[in-house]
Amino acid sequence: MMLDKLRKTLSYDPATGIFRWRTNFVGQVRKGDVAGSLSLGYRYIRFRSGGVQKRYLASKLAWFYMTGVYPKFELDHKNGQRDDNRFKNLRRTTRSQNLANRRKNKNNTTGFKGVVLLPHGRWRAQIIQNYKHTHLGCFDSPIEAHAAYIKAARQMFGEYARSG
């Protein structure tokens, strides 16, 4: 995709993270409309480049728009909001760092990230980095297990660590 074509077709406000169409298109798209749609919390924008229409993550387009480099690496939303594409909210990241900044899984039954209830009633703390599970210990309460997780996450991931 050419940066000039992107800038000719869409405007981007780095303070709000919103892309808007610069021209009218056949159908329902009008000049000034917010570009894209949400899917699983992320904003995607369909954009034609080289005669082929492709779907792009708005966060990657924002990075491209601001830096001139299309990211082949992962981008992280610092605040954890998938559709907040303000440039100051985006940062280059590794897969492990990106996962460390993720909120706890919606299927989590313990209420604490990195904590699992064992069959015998104790609580296990674990952390994952580069697809490797690290056992942090077994504890009498989920709060103790979560404290162990937080400590390990801060050591491993620094500013990317999210506790909940």
Return all residues near 70 (Cβ < 8 A) that are at least 6 apart.
1, 60, 63, 64
Q: Please state, for a pLDDT cut of 70, what percent of the chain lies above it.
A: 90
Tokens of 9: 């077709």
Q: What is the mean pLDDT of residues 52-77?
A: 93
pLDDT tens readout for residues 120-146 = 889 998 887 777 888 999 999 888 998
Q: Beta-carbon neighbour count of residue 6 at 10 Å?
A: 19
HSE (CB half, 13 Å, CA atoms) of 147? Answer: 7
Domain boundaries, the chain: 3-93, 105-160
pLDDT at 22: 92
At residue 133, the pLDDT reads: 84
CATH class held by domain 105-160: alpha beta
The CB density around residue 121, as the number of other CB atoms within 10 Å, is 7
Task: Report d(CA 80, CA 90) in Å as an integer.
Answer: 10
Whether 1 has a pLDDT exceeding 60, the answer reads no
Predicted pLDDT of residue 103:
65
pLDDT of residue 100: 65
In tens, the pLDDT along 20-64 reads 999 887 677 889 999 999 998 999 998 776 778 889 999 999 999
pLDDT at 128: 79
Classify domain 3-93 at the CATH topology level: Homing Intron 3 (I-Ppo) Encoded Endonuclease; Chain A (3.90.75)
pLDDT at 155 over 90: no
Please report the pLDDT score of residue 66 as a whole number. Answer: 96
pLDDT of residue 105: 67
pLDDT at res. 106:
67
pTM: 0.69
